[in-house]
Each structure stands twice: as structure tokens, then as C-alpha cells.
Amino acid sequence: MAPTILVVGATGNTGRSVVETLSKLLSASSTLSDHRVIALTRTQNSPVAQHLASIPGVKILEKNWVDITPAWLREHEVVRAFIASHNQPNQFADESTFHLAALRAGVQYVVRISTTAANVHPDSDAYYPRSHWAIEALLSSPEFKALQWTSLQPNVFTNFWLAPAAELIKQYRKTGTQHTLRLMASQDAPVGVIDPDDVGAFAAHLLCQPDPAVHNRARYVLNGPEDVTGEQIVKMVEQHIGTRVESVSYKDLSIIDAMAAGAPQESRSVVLSVKHAPETAWDGKCTASTTSKEVLELAAPTRTAAAALRAMLGE
């Protein structure tokens, strides 16, 4: 075998871009060209998994990442890893177990996905940013000194922020009718929404650093190249459908009510606390200007909200 970079959730929101970018960077690297990539997925039969399996230097493995042990990491010679955990209420238990396994196995460096920087603090009213804060606190402890890590704090993803817009455009093109455009965005607050592929590309650049020590224990803020308001999203929709949007609901959080109803095994109050997460965006705290300079220097995000919407429409 060979030294391995593990990508957990390779077929997920950011993982595909991590794998694709890693393959390109490793082939051109003078220090890491002997490294291979293991892309972890729950099913090898998905179109994305089959695509990744065709990329040079990439091996697809079917495994649930929460079951990873130190012995498994040593067996596969994992020296670096990427992880984008779920954000369910048991996130801390699952992700901290992964990092402990990495520490015990002698993994050298881990890049992890956090959440919106303005929310990551111990008294966040939304539950999952507190989990990310707790993971970062754990990794910062003296006990984890041997494990180098970087935590990426991306703003809200374009595919999540723009999904209702894409849905309305598709419906209008198919039926000529409109439903209410329900946007989580406020009408006038600028938000630097970021494309998941841009986040994955930056993570891959970190994982391919000859010496990641300069990025050890860093927390990097990632935003898209420009801000977008809810009103601008409405205008983009109107450009695509060629007519006025008839009804808009800004700061619409009905999707979170649906999340709570669809997870009866979870505490309803915990799930509903997610309604507090967009408040920092509405307050203007999540603009593109907050992007870390290291992000701009190493792999600056390039996809705008307008371009992301076109991609969601298959254009």
C-alpha cells in the first residue's frame, strides 16, 4: 500500500470536490505524489461514487465512517484525512470518536468542516454550532497536541440558500404556475453564500501542503466571491422565468418545522433551535468581507450565487 489521504463522505456536499481536486494536486506534487486517496462512501453503486472510482489514484471504499477505529486507520496507512460530519444532535459523540481514533492511529493532519463562523461559540442558540465549537475545543486541548488540524468555517452553502429559487424556476418552466418563493434570506442583508465545490477545493489544497504545520489549529472563514441579498435572489428568479415573482416570503423557516416533524426520535426543541442559525446572516455578520486571507491566497472561491443557480438548473 501507500500513504493515504482519507476523504470521509466523499460523495457528499463537499467531498466530491475534495477528491477531484486532490487527484489533480497529488499528481503534480513533488512531495506527496506517492500518496493515494481513499474515498469513503456508504454505497459504491451511486453515480457519484462510480465517477470518483474512475479518477486516477482514488480508491472507493464502502464504510460507515462512525465505525472507523484506530486499527482500521493504521491498516489503510491513513496519514491525512478530511471529514465533513453530519449535524445531527449526536454529532459531537460521533465526530469526537473519529478524531480520537485519528489521534490513537498516529494520523498526522485532519481538515474538518465546521459551520458559519459567526455562529461558532459556546452560547449559540442553535444547537449544532455549539457542537462544532466543542469539537474545536477538544482538538485544541493538550491531549490532542499530536494531531494537527484545521477547521473550515464556511458560510451557508449556495445549494441550500438557493434551493427554493431553483425549485420555483423549474416548476414555472414545467407548468407556467408559481408557488410562494420561500427564502431563508432576508430581503436586504448581504450574505456571502459559498458553493460546496469551492470549500472542497480549498480543503484539498490544505491536505496537499508539503508541511501543514502553518495551518495547524487554524480556523478559516470561507465565503463566496460576492454577497447576495434576498431581493437579488428574487431578481435572479425573475430573469430566469421572464416575469415577476408573484409572492415572496423572506426569513422563511418553515423547512425547519418540517425537519422537526420528520425527526420524531430527536428532541423537538433541539431541532427547532436551528431557527436561530440564520440570525447572524440577517444581522449582516456573514458577508464576503469576512473571508480569511489564507483562503484567498491558497484557493479563493470563484463561483457566484448566479453561477451556482445556473448549475442547479443544469445550465
| One domain for residues 269 and 203 | no
| One domain for residues 41 and 173 | no
| One domain for residues 76 and 213 | yes
Mean pLDDT of the chain: 96
Instruction: State the pLDDT at residue 265.
Output: 84
Query: pTM to 2 decimals?
Result: 0.96
Q: 240 in a domain, yes or no?
A: yes
Instruction: State the pLDDT at residue 241.
Output: 98
Q: pLDDT tens for residues 221-263?
A: 999 999 999 999 999 999 999 999 999 999 999 999 988 888 8
d(CA 278, CA 57) in angstroms, rounded, equals 39
| One domain for residues 254 and 201 | no
Reported as a pLDDT band with limits 50, 70 and 90, residue 183 is very high
Q: 130 in a domain, yes or no?
A: yes
Reported as a pLDDT band with limits 50, 70 and 90, residue 303 is very high
| One domain for residues 260 and 292 | no
Instruction: State the pLDDT at residue 78.
Output: 98
What does the pLDDT average to over 293-303?
98
CB neighbours of residue 13 within 10 Å: 17
Q: 18 in a domain, yes or no?
A: yes
| One domain for residues 136 and 249 | no
Instruction: State the pLDDT at residue 113.
Output: 98
What are the angstrom distances between the C-alpha of 195 and each of 224, 226, 292, 301? Answer: 7, 11, 16, 8
Structural domain that includes position 96: 4-155+195-223+288-301
Instruction: Please check the confidence at residue 66 and state whether its pLDDT lies above 90.
Output: yes
Instruction: State the pLDDT at residue 43.
Output: 85
Q: pLDDT tens for residues 37-61?
A: 999 998 888 899 999 999 999 999 9
Tell me how many domains the chain contains.
2
Q: pLDDT tens for residues 95-151?
A: 999 999 999 999 999 999 999 999 999 999 999 999 999 999 999 999 999 999 999
Q: 307 in a domain, yes or no?
A: no
Q: Which residues contact 195 (CB under 8 A, 6 or more apart)?
A: 157, 158, 159, 224, 301, 303, 307, 308
Instruction: Please check the confidence at residue 85 and state whether its pLDDT lies above 80.
Output: yes
d(CA 13, CA 157) in angstroms, rounded, equals 9
7 forms beta bridges with: 39, 82
